[in-house]
Amino acid sequence: MDFWFSLKKILSIYINPISVTLELVFFGLVLISFASRRPRKPLGPRRARLRGVLGDFGVFLVMLGMLTLYLSSIDPVANGLTLHLEAQNPPLTETDGVPVVTQMPEYLVVLAGGHLSVPGKPTLSRLSRVAFARVVGAVDLAGHFPGAKVIFTGHPDETAAMRAVAGRLGISADRILEETESRDTKDHPLYLKPILGDKPFLLITSAVHMPRAVSLFRKQGLQPTVAAVDFVIWPTPGDYDPYRQGLLLPRVFNLELTATALHEIAGMWWSQWREEVAVKTEQGT
């Protein structure tokens, strides 16, 4: 397995609000415990001062961890980070409910977003929330562009689940293609390029994921028409829970938004460092 792929996946596990909070609190408590432990022998002034500094630093780490968790769970931070990403690629302009494009697409490319396939699970429950929203968006667009093929790209289990859901929602099997070699966002354009060639296509993925995805496609010389779906905050933060008011009240839902946004921002930085994306991400329509 590719070393950089494995490293990125490992880092993504430990770099999210909950993991960071637990790490900071854990190391803080370790330092506090060490500093408060009664020594067997009297300490000299330097060692006593060092223990005091370590204890104070441990308290700081615990407070920093709790602050990280709090900030990640409130509306201003979660909504702001999510909106920053979603606003870069607004949805396709529509006229009388019909999407407006400069070229009729020959393909609708739908990026995988995770699956939950196990024996006995209902078809419409086999995808993650994100992947299900992408497939629903693709089905809607497929209705407006009946001549376009739908390509699901990702792990074989993901694309199989996406195909099954799309079929249940009315897409005929002869319109669906699967690209099953991709394991990461950077893989999609590499494996799709021989299929797509110079043909016009719509790139369909979640709005928060689109900035990184479209930049990776353009780095490979592909020019997709951006068709972002699964908007959560765009065009503006709103009141999504009328029974729980308060911008500064922590919400579990916001932790997911913050974690997703930070994952995408970190992914873009990683891709830029690895020179996998275009130097400047153009805004597509």
Look at residue 281 and tell me if it is in a domain: no
- Does one domain contain both 37 and 130? no
Tens digit of pLDDT at every position of the chain (285 positions) = 577 667 777 777 777 899 999 999 999 999 999 998 877 777 778 888 888 999 999 999 999 999 999 999 999 999 999 999 999 999 999 999 999 999 999 999 999 999 988 888 999 999 999 999 999 999 999 999 999 999 999 999 999 999 999 999 999 999 999 999 998 899 999 999 999 999 999 999 999 999 999 999 999 999 999 999 999 999 998 766 666 667 888 999 999 999 999 999 999 998 888 888 765 544 443
- Does one domain contain both 52 and 115? no
**DSSP H or E segment with residue 115:** none
Domain that residue 37 falls in: 3-72
- Does one domain contain both 27 and 141? no
135 C-beta neighbours (distance < 10 Å), count: 28
Residues 6+ apart with CB under 8 A from 147: 104, 106
Start-end of H helices in 87-231? 129-144, 156-168, 187-196, 210-219
The pLDDT of residue 238: 74
Look at residue 269 and tell me if it is in a domain: no
Rounded to 10 degrees, the C-alpha dihedral 38/42/48/52 comes to 10
The pLDDT of residue 282: 41
The pLDDT of residue 283: 40
- Does one domain contain both 17 and 134? no
Write the DSSP symbol of residue 150: E
By the 10 Å C-beta count (0-12 exposed, 13-18 middle, 19+ buried), 65 is classed as buried
Look at residue 125 and tell me if it is in a domain: yes
Nearest CA among 58, 50, 47 for reference residue 25: 58
The pLDDT of residue 4: 66
The pLDDT of residue 246: 74
What is the total count of domains within the chain? Answer: 2
Look at residue 285 and tell me if it is in a domain: no
- Does one domain contain both 156 and 34? no
Look at residue 174 and tell me if it is in a domain: yes
Going by DSSP bridges, is the β-strand pair 176-179/201-204 parallel, antiparallel, or unpaired? unpaired
**What spatial distance separates the first Cα and last Cα of the chain, rounded to whole Å?**
36
- Does one domain contain both 124 and 160? yes
